Structure 1
C-alpha cells in the first residue's frame, strides 16, 4: 500500500445492481448489491458500508466519493420524472412535436414517434422575440409570465423549462422570465435553455432543457438525501458525480444540470476500457458493457473513446437515429440497447423469441431470485443452461433458484414453442447475443469501422458470460475480460478526471474572422468553467482544450477543429482552414476548393490531467490451468448437456492456459469460454480469449 494514499470510494447505481469499489493505493475492494429503486441511496450506503467493513474502514475515512447513476436515464425511459411544463416564445408551442420534420424510417407507414416529455396542455407561450443576432425585436411581456405562473401553480407543476427563440445568442429574456417565476413560485425548479444548451438548433436545445427540467426534482432530492446521510455518517471528503462526457463534476453542478448525468455509468465503463486498452497496448477496441438492465457498445481508438455532442434517449426503434429524444450534451459515443441480465424474454405473435427492452430490474428481479418475478430473463436462461453457480452468484450474497428459472422459461418460451426449459434457455441466450452483435455491427459500420478488426473488452456483471458468443457472431478473434470486470464502470470512475465542457454558439465565417471577438468568447467560457472545476480539483494541474465546430457554408453538420489555447490572430484563419480541409478529406476523401467555411459553435474543456497507465510486461512463461471441478452445461447445438471444466479465477496465475469450453468463476461475475476459443491469463490478470485455429 502506498504511504499516504487517498482512500477513494465509487458507486455505480444501475437499474438492477449497485456496484461499489474502494481503493487505497494499490489495494482494491469491491462489492455488488441489489439496487433499491425507491431510495437508491439506501443501496449505495449499504453496499459501501459492507465494502468499508471488509477493508477495516468507515465512511469518515473516505477522502473522495465518486458517484455515477442511471437514475436520470431510467426516469426518462420509464416516464417517472417530475410533472413538468415548457414555456416557449409565442408561436412556437409545438417545437417538441414538430422536431426536425424528418422520418427516422422513411417507409414505415405506422411510424411511432418518441412521446414528448411535456404534453401539449402543459406547453405555454409568452410574447417576446430575439432575432438570430441577439437583438430584441419584442420585449418580454411580464404580464404573460404572471398568467403562466398562476396556471403552473393551479396544475401542481414541479419543474419548468424556458426555451425562447435564439436565446443562445442573447439569454436576457430567458433569465428575466426565470427570475420572475422564482419570485412568484420559490419552490419551482426552473431550467433556462441557454444555460443547459447554449447552442443553435431549436428542437435539440428545447428537448435538452425539457429533459433537464424533467429529471431535476428527482436528482436534486436524491443528491440532497445522499449528502445528508453521508454527513450523518461523518463523511468529510469530496463528493463528485460522473458525467456523460467521461469527467467528474461537483454536486452543485450536477444538481443544476442533472441531464449531464444521463449516461454517467456507461461513461465510467468507457474510461475503464480505455485504461485497460492502454495497459495492454490494444489500439483498436470494441468496449462491450452488459449489466443487469442494458448493454452498451462503444469504440476506443488509440486509447481514447469517441465523443459526441448529442445523445438520444428512449429510442422508439432500437438502431435508428432520430427515433429518440435528443439531448445535446457532451457524451461518450455509444449505442445502448435493452439487453441485460434482467431483460425479459417472451414469444411474440410470430412465434419468435424476443428479448428486452423491458427489464425485471432489481424488483421483482429475475424469476431465479425468488423475489416475486415470474417472467423469464436472460439471467434465468444463464442459470438454466448451467453457466451460473447458484451458490456463488454476486459473491454469494444472492441465492439463486434454478427450478424457478426453468418454470418461468417453460411457461413463457418453452411451452408456446414446444421445447424443453433448457432449449428455451438456449434460444434466449442466442437471441440476446445476436441483439448485442447486431448493435456492435451497426455502431462500427456507422463510423466506417469493421467490428471484426477490433479486440473486444468485456465488463459489467453479465458481459463475460456472453462476450465469447458475441465475438463469434461479429467475427472478432480476440476478447479480453479484465480484472474487476463485474464492477468495471465503478472502477472507471476512479480513473476519470475532474472535468467540464461547455459549448456555445457564436456564428462566424472564416473569411470574416474576428480574432478579438473569438478570443473574448473562449476566455469567458474558460473563466466560467474554471470557477466550477478549480475548487473540485483542489490544486491539481489543469489542462484546457478548445475546439471550433466548422462546416462549409450551407452544410448541415460540423467537424471539430482543434484551436490553440491562447489569444487568436488574423493569421489563424488560414491555419483553421487547412485543418478543417484535412479533416474533411479524411472523412469524405475530398475537399471543396475555395468554398466558404463557417464556425457554428465553440467548445472549451478544462480538466485535471488523466495519465494513461504504462503497458504491462508480457507473460513469458505459460502453465496449464488446473480446473477446480467439472459442471454440466446444456449445449443447444448438440441438444444435450456436456461436461465443462470450471476454474476459480483467483487460483489461475499469470501465464495459465486453458481451452474452451470452460467457465471461469469470480466474485462479481463468471466468464464463459466457448469451445471456439483458447484462454490464458496475462500479466495484468486479464482473461485473454483467442480464436482457435480451424483445421483445413
Structure 2
C-alpha cells in the first residue's frame, strides 16, 4: 500500500496527513510536539495517523527547527570570514531606526560576535574583476586558528562573490581541508544578490543552524530506514516548494517558513478548485497566527524576510513566501503590564505544559482557556491525541486574571479573545491594507487548529464577509505540503540599463540560469515529472535605490516589453510610474518547478438545505456577549454534514481536530468538497 505523507511540526502540535495512492483516501494524525526531540513527534504523528513506517513511499517534512534555533539563538559555535576591511559590516548593518524618538531602541544583535569575525586579504570589484588576489597563506593561518578555537561552523562572505565565486571556492577548499567535520557555508551557494549586509546576515544564519539541521535531517532519515521505510524524504521550503535532503542540509535557512508555506500552497490549490483567484490565507495555530495574500493564484513572494521583525531583526534574503506572523495562537498567554493593561502573547504556553485546560500543569490564562470558559470549546471535550479538556482548570486560570482586574470571569475571557482577534486582524492588515489592498475584496481561508474558532471575530474586525473553512483545517498546512512541487530558485545580480542591453543578451542570461536550475533538479534524489521555468526581474528607474519585481515571459524578443511591464507594475504598486524615464534590471530571477504527483480533492455526498438528524449532537451554553449571558447553541458534527446543508448562527460545528464557531448573524453552507462557506454577519 504506497502511502505519501506530509509531516508539519508546529510549536504545539505535530500534524501528519497520509494519502493512499491506490484507494485515494486520506489518513490524519495529530499529536503534541516533542520539544526535547522533534523526531519523536514525527513518529508519534505517524502512529496517530495509523501509517506504518514500512509502507511509506514518499514523505514531505516541514519543521520549526530552523526558526526556533535562530530565535532562541541555540545554534553552532560559528565564525565568519569576510573580505579585509569589511569586518564590521555585519555589526553595523543598515542603522535602521524605525522608532526615531525611542531612547530605549536597540539595533539588531548579530549571531556571531565580533571576535569570531576574521578578515581574508582579497578583493573583487563590482564587475567581478580581481582588484587583489586571494592571499592563500593568510587564509591557511586563519583556518588553523579556527581549528584551535573549536568552531563548529564557518560562514564565508567575500565582497562581490555573487559576480565571481572563485575566491570563495578556494577559501572553502582550504577550510574543508583544515577543518574536517566543520560545517562550511559559502555565500554564493546561498545568495547571489548584492547588498553586503543582507547577504552576510543570510549566510551567517545558514551557518549558525547548519550543523543542527543537517544532523536533524540525517537522524530523521536514519529513523525512517530503521523503521523499514525506503521513502524519499523531501523538505518543505519557504519558497512554497520542496527540495531533497542533501539540498536542504546545505541551504538550511530555506526551511525558515516551511510549515506556513504548506498552508499557502494548500490555499492556492483550494482556491483553484473553488474558482477564487484572490484570497487571504489565515492560519491560527497553538503558538502563532500567520497571514498571506494570494493574487491571481500566484505565490506571494517577499523580497526580504526579517527574523524578529523589521525594527531589530536580522534580514534573511532568500526567495520566501510573503507571510506575516504574530505571536497570537491558542496557547498565547494573557498577562498584565505594570500599568494594569491586558496583553495577549507573544509568549505561549506551548505544548508543555500547554494551556491550563490541557490539565498538564499550566496555570496561566490563554486564548484556549478563554474559549473553554465561554463555551466556544466544550468544557469537557476531547482534543486530538486523546487530550481531555479540563474546564475547571481553565476557569481557575482565567478567574485568577479576572480577580487581578476586578472583573467577572466571562468578561475577562471575552476580553482575551477580543484582544487576540484584534492582533490577528492586524497581521491580515499588514499584507492587505498596508499595501493598498482592501481586505473586503478577498475571500478569507481560515485553517489551523484555532483559525475556524476565531475567524468570525477576525473577519468582523476586517469587514470581510466571505470565509472558507476547509475540511480538517487543523492539518491543512500538512495537506498543502502534499500539493507542493519540487522547486529551485536562483537570483543573480547584474545591473543592466535597458537602453544598453539587447533582448538576446537578456534571453541568453535567462537560459544559462534555467540550465543551472534544471541540472540541479536532475541531480537531486527526488523523482518528478515535467519541468516549468518561471522568470522574473528586479527592476528600478535609473537613480532609484529599491526595486520592483516583474514577471518576464519566456522567449523575450523586445526589451520594450520588459520596460512596459515594469511601468505597469510600478503604477500598480505605488500609483505612479515614469514611462519616459530609463530603467534598469538589477537582478534576474529563475524558478525551476519539477511537477510532483498530488492527491485529488475528495467530494462528499449530496444532501438538502437541512442538516441530517445525525449531524445535530446537542446544545450547549455559549457566551458571545457577556452582558447578555449564555445562549443555548446547537452543536453539529462536521463529518455528518452533507453538501448543500445550511446552518444559521449561533452554532458550533465540531470535528476531531478543530471547532468552527458561528456567531449570531453568521451563516454557513457546505459545498461539494466539504468546505464550510461562511457568510459573516449576515442578517437572519
Q: TM-score range by the shorter chain?
A: over 0.9
Q: Does the Cα contact within 8 Å between 1:191 and 1:209 map onto a contact in 2?
A: yes
Deviation at 1:520, TM superposition (A): 4.4
Quote the residue 2:225 is aligned against. 231
Deviation at 1:594, TM superposition (A): 3.4
Match of 2:569 among 583, 592, 601: 583
* Per-residue Cα deviation, 1:96-127 (whole angstroms, up to 9, x for no partner): 22222232223333223232212222222222
Match of 2:467 among 479, 490, 498: 479
Deviation at 1:224, TM superposition (A): 0.4
Q: Does the Cα contact within 8 Å between 1:275 and 1:613 map onto a contact in 2?
A: no
Match of 1:200 among 191, 194, 197: 194
Q: Distance in 2 between matches of 1:663 and 1:47?
A: 27
Deviation at 1:357, TM superposition (A): 1.2
Alignment of 1:438-477 (within 5 A): 438-477=426-465
1:38 and 2:33 are equivalent in the alignment: no
Q: Which segments of 5 or more consecutive residues in structure 2 lack a partner in the other structure? A: none
Match of 2:313 among 324, 327, 340: 324
Q: Does the Cα contact within 8 Å between 1:625 and 1:658 map onto a contact in 2?
A: no
Alignment of 1:389-538 (within 5 A): 389=378, 391-395=380-384, 397-411=386-400, 413-514=401-502, 517-534=505-522, 535-536=524-525, 538=527
CA gap of 1:167–1:39, structure 2 versus 1, over 3 A, is same
Deviation at 1:389, TM superposition (A): 2.7
Q: Which moved more, 1:625-634 or 1:23-32?
A: 625-634
Q: In structure 1, the residue corresponding to 2:430 is in which secondary structure?
A: helix
Q: Distance in 2 between matches of 1:618 and 1:521?
A: 52
Pairs aligned (count):
678
Match of 1:266 among 254, 260, 271: 260
Q: Distance in 2 between matches of 1:287 and 1:625?
A: 31
Q: Does the Cα contact within 8 Å between 2:244 and 2:526 map onto a contact in 1?
A: no
Deviation at 1:616, TM superposition (A): 8.4
CA gap of 1:90–1:533, structure 2 versus 1, over 3 A, is same
Quote the residue 2:657 is aligned against. 668
Q: Distance in 2 between matches of 1:639 and 1:562?
A: 54
Alignment of 1:291-306 (within 5 A): 291-306=285-300
CA gap of 1:323–1:450, structure 2 versus 1, over 3 A, is farther
Match of 2:348 among 354, 359, 377: 359
Alignment of 1:79-90 (within 5 A): 79-90=73-84
CA gap of 1:309–1:472, structure 2 versus 1, over 3 A, is same
Q: Does the Cα contact within 8 Å between 1:268 and 1:489 map onto a contact in 2?
A: yes
1:601 and 2:587 are equivalent in the alignment: yes
* Per-residue Cα deviation, 1:188-235 (whole angstroms, up to 9, x for no partner): 111111110110111111111011111111111110000000011111
Q: Distance in 2 between matches of 1:23 and 1:517?
A: 46
Quote the residue 2:678 is aligned against. 689
* Per-residue Cα deviation, 1:19-58 (whole angstroms, up to 9, x for no partner): 00011243111111111112111110121133135xxxx2
Q: Distance in 2 between matches of 1:430 and 1:670?
A: 18
Deviation at 1:527, TM superposition (A): 2.5
CA gap of 1:485–1:615, structure 2 versus 1, over 3 A, is closer
1:280 and 2:266 are equivalent in the alignment: no
Deviation at 1:639, TM superposition (A): 5.8
Deviation at 1:11, TM superposition (A): 0.3
Q: In structure 1, the residue corresponding to 2:235 is in which secondary structure?
A: strand
Match of 1:99 among 93, 97, 101: 93
Match of 1:114 among 104, 108, 111: 108
* Per-residue Cα deviation, 1:325-356 (whole angstroms, up to 9, x for no partner): 11111111121011111222111112111111
Match of 1:19 among 7, 12, 15: 15
Deviation at 1:419, TM superposition (A): 2.2
Match of 2:48 among 47, 50, 54: 50
Q: Which moved more, 1:418-427 or 1:293-302?
A: 418-427
Q: Which moved more, 1:379-388 or 1:490-499?
A: 379-388
Q: Does the Cα contact within 8 Å between 2:490 and 2:591 map onto a contact in 1?
A: yes
Quote the residue 1:68 is aligned against. 62
Alignment of 1:121-270 (within 5 A): 121-270=115-264
* Per-residue Cα deviation, 1:443-502 (whole angstroms, up to 9, x for no partner): 201222111222211001111111011111111112111111110100000111111111
1:623 and 2:620 are equivalent in the alignment: no
Deviation at 1:645, TM superposition (A): 1.4
Deviation at 1:618, TM superposition (A): 13
CA gap of 1:392–1:498, structure 2 versus 1, over 3 A, is farther
Q: Which moved more, 1:375-384 or 1:287-296?
A: 375-384
| Superposition TM-score, scaled by structure 2 size | 0.94
Q: Does the Cα contact within 8 Å between 2:239 and 2:261 map onto a contact in 1?
A: yes
Q: Does the Cα contact within 8 Å between 1:20 and 1:48 map onto a contact in 2?
A: yes
Q: Does the Cα contact within 8 Å between 1:298 and 1:305 map onto a contact in 2?
A: no
1:372 and 2:370 are equivalent in the alignment: no
Q: Distance in 2 between matches of 1:166 and 1:205?
A: 10
Q: Does the Cα contact within 8 Å between 1:511 and 1:596 map onto a contact in 2?
A: yes
CA gap of 1:419–1:113, structure 2 versus 1, over 3 A, is same
Q: Distance in 2 between matches of 1:323 and 1:350?
A: 25
Q: Does the Cα contact within 8 Å between 2:57 and 2:230 map onto a contact in 1?
A: yes
